[in-house]
């Protein structure tokens, strides 16, 4: 089957600076791809290239087998001629048009017949649950409702590809969670392929069928969210994804062992030939308390946050912050010493350069 989206050697330079640097990914039809990464990693630039608002410096964008942008050929198909719809962070509704008018406008531009337009407007109003707002003007509805109208307007013409640029970042926390599942429902109902930009890794992990983690314009890793959590290829991916954030401990090879201070954490063979390595421990693999026969450290309690019946605890050990879990609700005084036990072996081993070692 033809991929819905294929990016080959896609780059965008501003002067000497590569905002997007040699990206190569293929996205199957119907996927929900989330582009995630820290501020300035190139997410918006990549999305703007997908939308046809920015010309690639090099490489190609192919939608459903058709080249829509090409750096070499200097080709960029017009935003309206690439079967893609873009939803921005700011809703950009036309203030002088009613909700129904806003949704109908792109269909007029695309020369749909009056009857088809009316039927489609009614359909998307219903899909977004905003029928009762159809005659109101943008100034007369809330921010969350405006966002729904903006989404309705984008999906009206039935684009094959939906592009979202941090669409929920202006909403409050509760509404954001609600809209997340709404967007998933809309994605399924339209059977479009979606590309969604966020810097919120929780949003990425809950919504995505595929995630691309970007760092300095490059894709660090691309795949289903579970694969990225279970088998991160770099320390960047390992610590960027997952809640609470994972721990990386630098260990030194001594004889047959990998030691963290005086503590033996793993067999030296796990680090291959490296003298030093970084061990990945998820918070739930370090438990507050002691367990016989397992490596334990005495750390200085810093703070505690209850999460789903357990407690996420941060503590300091030799100046390093460590995140661990306690069963039930846990409290201690800041500065108090608490035991932390490494109840599981490290879930991955990385070279000091950040690359994964072994399986
Ligand atoms: N028109 C431009 N001219 C020069 N540099 C630019 C331009 N647009 C973006 N950049 C630079 O390219 C890099 C990537 O920017 P981009 O907006 O794509 O990042 P982002 O990942 O979307 O960040 P954020 O999450 O903060 O929105 C940044 O360093 C930015 O300063």
pLDDT digits (tens, 9 = 90+) for 201-227: 888 888 899 999 999 999 999 999 999
Please report, for residues 61, 163, 197, the alpha-carbon distance to residue 82 in angstroms, rounded to integers and kept in the order given: 11, 12, 19
Distance 91 CA to ligand 1 centre (A): 20
Scanning 32-71, the segments in alpha helix (DSSP H) are 43-51
How far apart are the C-alpha atoms of 84 and 51, rounded to whole Å?
Answer: 7
Ligand 1 pocket, residue 41 CB under 6 Å: yes
Instruction: Identify the residue whose tokens are 């460590």.
Output: 322
Handedness of CA 101, 105, 111, 117 (dihedral sign): negative
Q: What is the pLDDT of residues 348-359, one digit of tens each?
A: 999 999 999 977
Cα of 273 vs centre of ligand 1, distance in Å, is: 39
Are residues 306 and 244 in contact, defined by beta-carbon separation less than 8 angstroms? no
Q: What average pLDDT does the chain have?
A: 92
Asked whether 42 lines ligand 1 (CB < 6 A), one says: yes
At CA 250, angle to CA 249 and CA 256, rounded to 5? Answer: 110
Query: How many angstroms is it from 40 CA to the middle of ligand 1?
Result: 5
Determine if ligand 1 sits within 6 Å of the CB of residue 277.
Answer: no
Angle formed by the axes of helices 99-109 and 143-155, nearest 10°: 20
- In this structure, the strands spanning 210-215 and 32-36 are parallel
Cα–Cα nearest to 180, from 160, 196, 159, 161: 196
| Nearest alpha carbon, ligand 1 atom 3 | 14
42 CA from centroid of ligand 1 (Å): 6
Average pLDDT on 91-112 reads: 92
- Measured in angstroms, how far is the CA atom of residue 44 from the centroid of ligand 1? 7
Note whether 63 and 193 are within 8 A (CB): no
Where is 314: in which H helix or E strand? strand 310-317
User: Which whole number is the average pLDDT over 97-105?
Assistant: 95
Note the ipTM here. Answer: 0.95
The radius of gyration computed from the CA coordinates of the chain, to the nearest angstrom, equals 24
Q: Which atom of ligand 1 is nearest to the CA of 47?
A: 18
Residue 213 near residue 37, CB atoms below 8 Å: yes
Spell out the CATH class of 5-240. Answer: alpha beta
Is the CB–ligand 1 distance for residue 19 below 6 Å? yes
- pLDDT confidence of residue 325: 96
* Confidence band of 1 (pLDDT split at 50, 70, 90): low
Q: Which two tokens stand for residue 183?
A: 């967007």
Residues 6+ apart with CB under 8 A from 277: 250, 251, 253, 258, 270, 271, 349, 350, 351, 352, 357
Q: Within its chain, how far is the Cα of 250 from the centroid?
A: 27
User: d(Cα 74, Cα 23) in Å, to the nearest integer?
Assistant: 18
| Alpha carbon nearest to ligand 1 atom 26, residue | 39
CATH class of 247-350: mainly beta
Domain extents in the chain: 5-240, 247-350
Q: Which atom of ligand 1 is nearest to the CA of 15?
A: 4
**Cα-to-centroid distance, 166 and ligand 1 (Å):** 14
Residue 289 CB burial class (10 angstroms; 0-12, 13-18, ≥19): middle
Asked if residue 39 has its Cβ within 6 Å of ligand 1, the reply is yes
Give yes or no for residue 15 CB within 6 A of ligand 1. no
pTM confidence score? 0.88
């Amino acid at each position: 089957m033809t991929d819905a989206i294929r990016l080959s050697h896609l780059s965008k330079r501003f002067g000497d600076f590569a905002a997007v640097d040699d990206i190569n990914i293929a996205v199957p039809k119907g996927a929900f791809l989330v582009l995630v990464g820290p501020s300035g990693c190139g997410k918006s630039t990549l999305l703007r290239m997908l939308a046809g608002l920015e010309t690639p410096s090099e490489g190609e964008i192919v939608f459903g087998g058709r080249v829509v942008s090409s750096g070499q050929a200097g080709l960029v198909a017009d935003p309206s001629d690439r079967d893609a719809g873009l939803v921005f962070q700011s809703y950009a509704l036309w203030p002088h048009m009613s909700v129904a008018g806003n949704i109908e406008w792109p269909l007029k531009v695309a020369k749909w017949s009056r009857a088809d337009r009316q039927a489609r407007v009614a359909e998307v109003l219903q899909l977004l649950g905003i029928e009762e707002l159809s005659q109101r003007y943008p100034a007369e509805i809330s921010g969350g409702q405006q966002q729904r109208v903006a989404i309705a307007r984008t999906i009206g013409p039935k684009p094959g590809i939906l592009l979202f640029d941090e669409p929920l970042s202006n909403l409050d926390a509760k509404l954001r969670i609600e809209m997340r599942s709404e967007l998933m429902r809309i994605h399924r109902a339209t059977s479009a392929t979606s590309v969604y930009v966020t810097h919120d890794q929780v949003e990425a992990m809950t919504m995505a069928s595929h995630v691309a983690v970007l760092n300095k314009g490059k894709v660090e890793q691309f795949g289903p969210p579970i694969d990225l959590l279970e088998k991160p290829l770099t320390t960047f991916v390992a610590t960027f994804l997952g809640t609470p954030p994972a721990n990386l401990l630098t260990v030194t090879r001594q004889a047959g062992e990998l030691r963290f201070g005086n503590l033996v954490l793993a067999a030296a063979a796990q680090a291959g030939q490296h003298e030093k390595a970084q061990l990945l421990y998820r918070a739930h693999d370090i438990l507050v308390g002691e367990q016989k026969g397992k490596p334990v450290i005495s750390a200085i309690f810093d703070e505690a946050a209850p999460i789903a019946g357990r407690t996420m605890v941060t503590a300091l050990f030799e100046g390093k912050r460590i995140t661990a879990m306690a069963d039930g609700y846990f409290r201690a005084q800041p500065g108090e010493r608490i035991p932390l036990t490494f109840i599981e072996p490290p879930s991955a081993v990385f070279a000091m350069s950040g690359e994964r070692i072994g399986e």
